[in-house]
Every structure is written in structure tokens, then in C-alpha cells.
Amino acid sequence: MSEKGEREIVRGLRDVAAAETSISYVDPKGSLYYLGYNIDDLVGNIIYAEVAYLLIHKKLPNQRELDTFNAELISEMKLPEAVIESIRATPKRCHPMDVLRTEVSRLGEYDLDANDRSKEADLKRATRIIAQVPTIVATLHRSRMDEPTPSPREDFSFAKNFLYMFKGTPPSNEETDVLHRLLILHADHGFNASTFAARVTASTNSDMYSAVTSAIGTLRGPLHGGASEKVMDMLDDIGQEEHVEEYVQGLLDNRKKVMGFGHRVYLAEDPRTKHLRGMVEKLCHRKRTMDLYRKCIKIEGIVHERKGIYPNLDFYAAVTMDALGVPKEFFTPFFTTSRVSGWVAHTMEQYEDAVLLRPSSKYVGTFGSTFVPIDKR
Ligand SMILES: CC(C)(COP(=O)(O)OP(=O)(O)OC[C@H]1O[C@@H](n2cnc3c(N)ncnc32)[C@H](O)[C@@H]1OP(=O)(O)O)[C@@H](O)C(=O)NCCC(=O)NCCS
């Protein structure tokens, strides 16, 4: 409240700390930590399932725990038959995020332990949701290609199985390595908008499926996880590399946002960008990736020079996913398959905090409106 007793608005909740968390820390100076581990020490040294385990169990697994977790994830990847049928029945005009949002919500109908809200049940539920989201994404993609979805293989890691089921053929070692890194980098990010949405839902003591459904709807927007698809739209629109300058200057002259740039928290470069840029550089033996990379480097230079801002996670993630053969409308679903591990971790943390997240607002409407019955209006 101000001295006059008026509520003060923090527009966009910028810099407002809404709750405590020990899951991840976004350092504005340009670092990201999961449970205290700098992501620079994790990327390339561990696989995605270890990060998912870290987020929900709040400790890194030993080999035995990882093997058990990986096996549990693979066995939980199976979807209820009704969900598979529903995915297959969705019209092709629907964006994959529409389908994902609906089907994750539907999964809640098939949770036989739905009434068990113990910590143990929530942990099992979290593991199951982490496992089933990629299967929904893969099943949707395969069904849109009129192809069957292969069953997961026990000799593959969870992440490798996802790509295998998505593409229909076993991925190469290079592709698998890229996917692990990509998923690790997307897994959690403090109180980003979708995580906050999940936590608001969880704060009402609602169930985990509802929290994840809220988060999916929030991630989808182009200012958040939907940005990577828009980055690829921009790269497609630009066409040849020589058109970059004119296109980007045109956007900036018209005060339009360049997708994949800027960040609410980071004052320096997003710490995930260097990993993604490096991955793209390694994938430049593919001609298409090389062409996209050259455009990206030019865009980065122009935007930084004119606005002083840096690319965020979504900029090079778009080119990385393209190199993996992922169609652009599936970029945000790929993001979801990883960020879901952060959402369920935050949902459980919010249950422990047990406080309703309910901000206030500043009323700017009128008072004293005179009521008129409908037949007199
Ligand atoms: C991420 C984002 C929503 C953060 O927004 P924010 O913290 O509210 O920052 P603002 O929108 O207030 O931007 C601050 C300034 O930087 C500029 N800016 C921020 N992002 C920009 C972008 N992508 N392109 C061009 N200018 C940008 C704004 O125009 C503004 O400039 P001004 O002060 O001259 O008006 C914003 O940077 C954005 O829309 N980026 C594009 C979408 C995207 O990539 N999202 C993924 C985020 S991980």
C-alpha cells in the first residue's frame, strides 16, 4: 500500500518474489542452478533422466537409483487406450499444444490413485506424468503421419526412447546426445510464467494434472515457450541470408519484438544460449543447419547492436530441434516434455508450502453505478 492507502502495482510482477524455492535459481548475472548445481556442470556430463530425478527427489541419483528410475519412466510411458484414441481423433488443424493440454488433463481421469494425496503418491504421479507427456507428443506426431508409434525399448534411456517413438527409428548417438542436452537445458527455470501458473493451481490444493494443464496453457504463448516456433517462422520468412539485415531492421524500426531475444530476469546473456549455440555449431555439417546458423549469427549481431539484448533459450533451441528433424509446430511440445519435470517438482514444493497464492489488484473501475432492470436498459 502507498502512503495514501492505495495499492501499488508491480507491473508484470517484475522482481516480485512470490514464494521460496530450493529447486532452481536464475541468477540475473547470467547463471542457472538446479538444486545448487550450475547447469554448466550438468550439461554434457549427465543424462536428462538424472535431471528429472534431481528436480523431483532433490538429489542426484546414484547408478542404481538412476537405473530404477529410468526403468520406472519407461514402464510408465504407456498411455491409457482412451487417450491414444482421443489423440488419433484430433483434427489435424489443431496445434499440437492444444492436443497436449487436453490429453494431459484427460490423463487425470485415468489416475486410479487420484484420491491418494500422500507425498509418496504424488512422487509416483510426478514420475508418471514426466513419462507420459513425451508419449502423447510422439503418438500425436506419428498419428499425423499415419504411422504407428513404436513401443519404448528397455535398452534405451528415457530421452532416447522419446526421440525413437517420435521419429519411428532409433536415433543416432549424436541425436541422442543433443536431445539429452536440450532437455536438460529446458527442465526448470525459477518462477517462469508456466511454473508460476502450475504453482498457483497447486496452491489451491488442486491436483497435479490440473497444475500441469494450467502450465501447458501458459507455456504455449509466444512470449514464453511458444517463442521457438515463432523463431523458425521468422527464419523461414527471411529466406536467403542476404535478407537478414533488412528484415530485422524493419522489425526494430517498427518497434516489433524479435522472437527469441530478451529476458525478464537475465541482465547478461542467458547461460543456456552458449550451450545451444555450441550444439548448433556442431550440427552445422548439415547444410540446412549451417544456413540457419548463419542467419542466426547475423540476427544476433544486429539485435545486440541496436537493442543491447541477447538471444534467449528459444533462439538456438529452434535450430537445434530443426536439426533433430522436429517440425516447428512440435517445438513447444518438445519444450513441454522437459519442463514438465520442473512443473511437477514445483507443484510438490507448493503443496508443502501450503499457502494460497492470491494477489491483490488495484481497482480502477467506477463506483455508484445505478442498477437498471433488463427491460429498462
Ligand atoms: C521475454 C520478454 C517477454 C521479456 O519481457 P520484459 O521483461 O517485459 O521486457 P520488455 O518487453 O519490457 O522489454 C524491455 C525493452 O527491451 C525491448 N525488447 C525486449 N525484448 C525484445 C525483443 N525480443 N525484440 C526487440 N526488443 C525487445 C523492448 O522493446 C523494451 O525496449 P524499450 O525500453 O526501448 O521499449 C521479451 O523480451 C520478449 O517479448 N521477447 C520475445 C519473446 C521471447 O523470445 N520469449 C521467450 C522468453 S524466454
Best probe residue, ligand 1, of 228, 257, 316 (max atoms within 8 Å of C-beta): 257
3-state DSSP assignment of residue 32: strand
Mean pLDDT per block of 10 residues along the chain (377 residues) reads 75 94 97 98 98 98 98 97 96 96 97 94 98 98 97 96 98 97 98 98 98 98 97 97 97 97 95 97 96 98 96 97 98 98 98 95 94 97
Q: Whose CA is nearest to atom 24 of ligand 1?
A: 257
Q: Which cell numbers hold the place of 271? A: 547461460
Q: Whose CA is nearest to atom 20 of ligand 1?
A: 262
Q: How far is the CA of 235 from the centre of ligand 1 (A)?
A: 19
**Each residue's pLDDT tens digit, 299-341:** 999 999 999 999 999 999 999 999 999 999 999 999 999 999 9
Q: CB under 8 Å to 350, separation ≥6 — which residues?
A: 19, 198, 199, 202, 203, 211, 357
Q: Which atom of ligand 1 is nearest to the CA of 270?
A: 48
Domain annotation for the chain: domains and CATH numbers: 26-223+330-353 (1.10.580.10), 227-323 (1.10.230.10)
Catalytic residue set = 263, 314
- Residues 228/182, Cβ–Cβ less than 8 Å: no
pLDDT for residue 337 = 98
pLDDT for residue 320 = 98
The closest alpha carbon to 312, from 264, 257, 273, belongs to 273
Measure Cα distances from 149 to 161, 342, 346 in Å.
11, 26, 31
Q: Which cell numbers hold the place of 250? A: 524493419
> DSSP letter at 13?
G
Q: How many CB atoms lie within 10 A of CB 120?
A: 9
Best probe residue, ligand 1, of 219, 254, 309, 315 (max atoms within 8 Å of C-beta): 309
Q: How far is the CA of 262 from the centre of ligand 1 (A)?
A: 5
Burial class (CB in 10 A: 0-12, 13-18, 19+), 343: buried
pLDDT for residue 155 = 96
Task: Name the pTM for this structure.
Answer: 0.96
**Each residue's pLDDT tens digit, 268-306:** 999 999 999 999 999 999 999 999 999 999 999 999 999
Residues in the ligand 1 pocket, defined by CB under 6 Å? 12, 223-224, 227, 257-264, 307, 309, 312-314
Residue that has been written with the C-alpha cell 527464419 in this structure: 235
